[in-house]
Structure 1
Amino acid sequence: MFRIILKRKFIIFLGLSALISGCATTKPASNWFKAGEWYNGLALMPYADINKAEFESQYKKNKSRWDKAFAYLKETNLETVAPGKYLLDGDSVYVSVTEGPDKPYEQTNWESHRNMIDVQYIVRGKEKMGVAELSKASVTKAYDPAKDVANYTAAGKFYVAEPGTMYIFFPTDVHRPSIKVDGYDVVKKVVIKLRYTK
């Protein structure tokens, strides 16, 4: 009986230690995020549930790349920029601008990337996007290194993306973009790809 009680106390101790440790690692990231040095005058903010710890880690590892990406969003007239692909730093940071119709939910897929981070921003219109944890998703199409994509089934959280908020997806974020919102037949969108540093 004494051993069982001791074992339970140890398990509770481990759980509390993990919780405290988790808080310790996320609080500095939250403070860094709130301080806002990263956005350098950019008038856009990431969506509320962004992985702040991963954002801080990747920003500090690749500051010059992130600065180029955010400078593009800040300094480019996104309303008038033509659809196409624009290189900001070779294949380490590049931009894809699209303008056209989104798809019905059934024609979209949950996806993730291993080598690139997505910064997705709706310039004009509205689009639905889903986000789920990679650890809770099931693979439906194996990772394709040439396309840097794998597909999944997942139960995620959905957002209506519109001008003013950017969505940043890391390799652990399974995401489902390009879902049509009723009433918005044409959506202009900017996707910036940044190379992920392990």
Structure 2
Amino acid sequence: MIYGHISQPNACRYPAAIESALKFLRTTDFSKLAPGVVEIEGRTIYAQVLDLTTRPREALRPEVHRRYLDIQFLSSGEEQIGVAIDTGNNKISEDLLEQRDIIFYHDCENESFIEMIPGSYAIFFPQDVHRPACNKHRETPIRKIVVKVAVSAID
């Protein structure tokens, strides 16, 4: 996992596909976009613009992806995201890997929570379990953008 804020320059170069996704996040006015999918580089890199309400962490399931990285960017509001390494010991709640590139777990081992504020992003790799859209203090409307980057595009 990589955690940062969009206003800060990258301390080192990321793979070109991640750089492309971060450039999209830096240069797009998300207040002018309707919720939905935005193609950046076809289905290799695309964004989902989401308007959600955070929920108690117990009401949300941890998840992993295998074919895409998730770059979760908070445009407005506040949230916490749970994160843990996928140890292989987590009990699967729902396996939608073939249909939607997602596996939901009932819970996960050794989970920590990161604080997301507007402009912050977290990059989750296939080995990173994450539980997005958790309440920070209370249920809060948020606008977040999830950029999907195909693992095959990482050089």
Q: Same fold (TM over 0.5)?
A: yes
**Larger Rg belongs to:** 1
2:146 corresponds to:
191
- Contact 1:45 / 1:165 at 8 angstroms: preserved in 2? no
Give % identity.
26
RMSD over aligned Cα, in angstroms?
2.5
Distance in 2, Cα, partners of 1:181 & 1:81: 25
Change (3 A) 1:102 1:183: closer
Corresponding position: 1:95 with 2:47: yes
Considering Cα pairs closer than 8 Å and 6+ residues apart, tell me whether 1 or 2 has the greater RCO: 2
Distance in 2, Cα, partners of 1:156 & 1:150: 16
1:6 corresponds to:
none
1:131 corresponds to:
83
Q: TM-score, normalised by structure 2?
A: 0.81
Which is helix-richer, 1 or 2? 1
Corresponding position: 1:160 with 2:115: yes
Pick aligned residue for 1:180 from 135, 138, 145: 135
Tell me the CA shift for residue 85 of structure 1.
0.8
- Contact 1:169 / 1:175 at 8 angstroms: preserved in 2? yes
Distance in 2, Cα, partners of 1:190 & 1:67: 16
- Contact 1:125 / 1:184 at 8 angstroms: preserved in 2? no
Which is strand-richer, 1 or 2? 2
- Contact 1:93 / 1:192 at 8 angstroms: preserved in 2? yes
Pick aligned residue for 2:20 from 37, 60, 68: 68
Q: Which runs of 5+ in 2 are unaligned?
A: none
Task: Single out whichever of 133-142 and 80-89 deviates more from structure 2.
Answer: 133-142
One-letter amino acid matched to 1:169: F
Tell me the CA shift for residue 77 of structure 1.
1.0
Q: TM-score, normalised by structure 1?
A: 0.65
Q: Which runs of 5+ in 1 are unaligned?
A: 1-32, 34-41, 47-51
For the residue of structure 2 that corresponds to 1:70, the secondary structure is helix
Tell me the CA shift for residue 101 of structure 1.
1.1
Change (3 A) 1:150 1:107: same
